[in-house]
Structures are given as structure tokens and as C-alpha cells.
Chains A and B, each alone.
Chain A
Amino acid sequence: MAGSNNLKITPPRWLLAELTYKCPLQCPYCSNPLDYSKHNSEISTKDWKRVLSQARKMGAVQLGFSGGEPLTRQDLPELVQHARQLGYYSNLITSGYGLTEDKIIQLKEAGLDHIQVSIQASSQELNDHLAGTESYQTKKEVAHLVKKHDYPMVLCVVIHRENIHQMPEILAMAEELGADYLELANTQYYGWAHKNRDLLMPTKEQFEKAEAIAQAFKEKVADKMKIYYVIPDFYEDRPKACMNGWGTTFLTIAPDGVALPCHSARELPGLDCPNVTDYSVEEIWNDSKAFNFFRGTEWMKEPCRSCDEKEKDFGGCRCQAYILTGDMNNTDPVCSKSPDRHVIQEALDSARKSALSKDEQPLIFRNSKNSKKYS
């Protein structure tokens, strides 16, 4: 095993409960695994309640109900109520699709703290195209209802080449909807986004222009709206401090009960990620092979091993190292010290070529048919 035995293991603080892979939307940058259709079992309400209780006891306090679309689970209000009784701060991460006013009230009464609504673009045409479902008007109505019922609202917009030109309109939309927080999440290239990378990756010029507009807006609205700007790391020369370090803070539970150190870790080979129906959260967090695999710095290869920044970015993202270099132990190739940095430049060049090409391939949408095809 790669992990060291002499580490002080910190307790989880963040629990991401991916309740289901079912989703009425088909976003081509979805972070769910390509082969999600293979993992179609879902753990029971009783299992979820036990997981929530066990993780809370260890110290988890932020809880995300996510998916897929978590609203497709009929037991969501019951799980929210259980979470509130345990003292979690509960975040519902939703497409807004299927969220009625009655449901918003019911979830509030159950103790839900916050609703994050995603919108794909600032225009109906593009939103509905990207979502693969007519959903723009519903989403805007939901955003109004979330504020009407006194939830803090985070509006999340995933940014990529298809919508990056709408940055000014996206910002205006967030202001009009009264968002308390705006998450401008530049696409991270895992799962479906990796598959569609040539079509989604903005050019450097597009990215820099959009970032400048967002920065100016951030200062203008500082009194009423906070902006989380998730950077596109392909244009950086140091990797992100992924997950705040492996097995230090974040615990994801997939719909079928598999416990993951990050929501993409399912793609990594040989981790033997444990299932909550077989082990307690405490056993999984402290003792499992998967959660110890990249803890600390002992597992690192060069150039990370002797790097004075290794405690700062933990070698970057393991999934990105695996997807782009074929070895999950490698330095994240985003790092300019990585001997594999050229794969990033090749990806950028390939995307640019696609952007300039007259016969671009169509986007591959996230749905069961395509998932089966790529399993």
C-alpha cells in the first residue's frame, strides 16, 4: 500500500451524498463517471441514515445532497430531517428540475439550510441545448422561489467554450435572480467533460477575457454577492490542492454505497473502494486501502517527492494524473515541473484546432444510452 502508517488522520468535515445517478438533464460536462449506468443500484434510506449518523459522529458537518438529481429520491425530506437532527449544515445541489414550491417548503420545514441551483447558460436556447432538456424557465422560477422562502441561494454556472461568451449576461442574470453566491465553475475535465474536452475547453483568449469581466463584477457587487471562481487549471502552472489533500477532509458516498476519497476516484485502478454496506464510515475512513492510498507524501514520485511545494498542493489531482498520464502516482501534469506537462499543451492545441475547425463533432450528452455505449 502506498500510504504511510505514521500519519495523524484528520476526521472528515465534508460529506457528499450522491443519492442517485438518475437525472432528467444530460449535461455534456457531468462529473459522474461515463459508465454510471453500470452502477445502477441505490442504497436504502436506512443505509443513508446510518452513514449520516456515523460520519457526523466523526466530525463531518457540511453535507451535500447531490447526484444525479437528488430530488428524484423520494426519501430526500426524510434524509434532510435526519441530517438536521444530527446538526449537519445541509446543502441541496440540484438542477432545480422538478422542484415545486410545495417541495421547497417541505424541505425547509425538514431543516434544509441551502439550495444550490445550476443554470447552464443565460439564454433559454443555449441552456436547454446544454441541459438536453427544456428547463430554463423552470430553473429561473425555482431560483425566485428559493429566495422567496429565505434560503441562501448559490447559483452555479459551469463555464466552457459553449457559454463563456455569455459571461456579462450570466453575471447580470445572477444579480437579477438575487443570488447570494455565484459559483462560476470553469469545467474540470473528468467523466463526461473529459470525453467532450475538445468541444468544451475555451481558448486562452476567451478564458482571460471572461475572467477579467468576472473580476470587475466581483468588486462591483462585493456588498451583496459573493463569487466563487473555480479556475480552469489547464491554464495554470501549478496544480490545484485537490480535495484539500487525499483523505483529509472530503468523503463522497456514491449512489450504490461505494465510499470515495473524491467523486472521480471510481475511475482509478486498484483502489478497491469500500462499500458502506460492508464497513462503518470510521473503518472506511481510518483503515481502508483506498482512503490511505495517497495520504501524506510517502507515495509521491519525483518531481513531487523533493518539491518544496508538496505540502501546498499535495501533487495535484490523482484522477487528472491518471486520465492524462496513465499513472495515478505521477505528478499532476498541470504542474510545469511535471515531465508530462506536454499533454496539457497538446490538449489545449487540440481544443483550439477543434474550435477553429468548420466541421466540429457534436457534443456527447450524458444519458443512459451513451453511458452504456462507453461502459
Chain B
Amino acid sequence: MTLDPNQPISFSPLHRLQWEEAQQKDVILYPEGMVELNQSSAEILKLCDGQRKPEQIVTELEQKFSQTGLTNDIQHFLEVALQNGWIQQP
């Protein structure tokens, strides 16, 4: 399973992404489990809305945080997220 640069990414319907007030963190929830996210991972996943393709996600986050050169980091995280089943492509 590898990331297809030409396909939009959606967040998995079998997982839930949620802000946890007690932990001051975004988390991914799934059957009997939880993954705590750092801020950048959470920002990436929030853009996986079934519309945006990988490149658009990079562009938007670089603009939002006034940074460049985020492609590799974001690409790497998306691969991990795909392997874990947190995101999917058609």
C-alpha cells in the first residue's frame, strides 16, 4: 500500500479524530485503542477530507505555517497514516 499522489485522501470512517480537552491533544480513536497526535500530525489529518490530494495538503500547510520544504515530512506521515489505516484513498 503506497500513497497515490493523484488521488484525494479521506479520513477513515472506522476511526475518529477528536480533540481531548483533558489531554490538550488531538487523538485518533478506534476499537479499544487511542493514538495521541502531535500538533503537526493533527493538522495534516484534518485536511484529509476526501477532497484534497497530497500536494494540496502540503501547499495549504506551508501557507498556514509560513514554511517551505514540508513535502517530505508530510509525505512520510501520510504513508504511515495509510499503513495504519487512519486514512484511505479511493
Chain A contact residues, CB within 8 Å of chain B: 11, 13, 57-59, 61-62, 64, 87, 89, 91, 113-114, 116, 150, 152, 154, 180-181, 223, 226
Contacts and interface: CB of A to CB of B under 8 A. Distances in A.
B32 A64 contact: yes
B32 A61 contact: no
Given A61-B29, A113-B29, A114-B32, 8 more contacts: A13-B34, A57-B22, A61-B22, A62-B29, A87-B18, A89-B29, A152-B30, A180-B14
Interface in B6-52: 13-14, 16, 18, 20, 22-23, 27, 29-34
Give the one of A11, A57, A61 with max B CB within 10 A.
Answer: A61
Nearest to A56: B22
A223 B1 contact: yes
Nearest to A87: B18
Contacts, number: 45
B75 to A, nearest CB: 20
Contacts of A226: 85
Interface in B61-90: 85
Interface of B: 1, 13-14, 16, 18, 20, 22-23, 27, 29-34, 85
A108 to B, nearest CB: 12
A15 to B, nearest CB: 12
Contacts of B18: 61, 87, 89
Nearest to A60: B22
A197 B23 CA distance: 41
A116 B31 contact: yes
Contacts of A223: 1
A150 B13 CA distance: 8
A286 to B, nearest CB: 14
16 contacts: A58-B22, A59-B22, A61-B18, A61-B20, A61-B29, A61-B34, A64-B32, A87-B18, A89-B18, A89-B30, A113-B29, A113-B31, A114-B31, A116-B32, A180-B14, A223-B1
A180 B31 contact: yes
Query: 10 closest A-B pairs (Cβ-Cβ)?
Result: A59-B22, A89-B29, A152-B14, A114-B31, A154-B31, A152-B31, A181-B31, A91-B32, A223-B1, A180-B14
Nearest to B20: A61
A57 B20 CA distance: 10
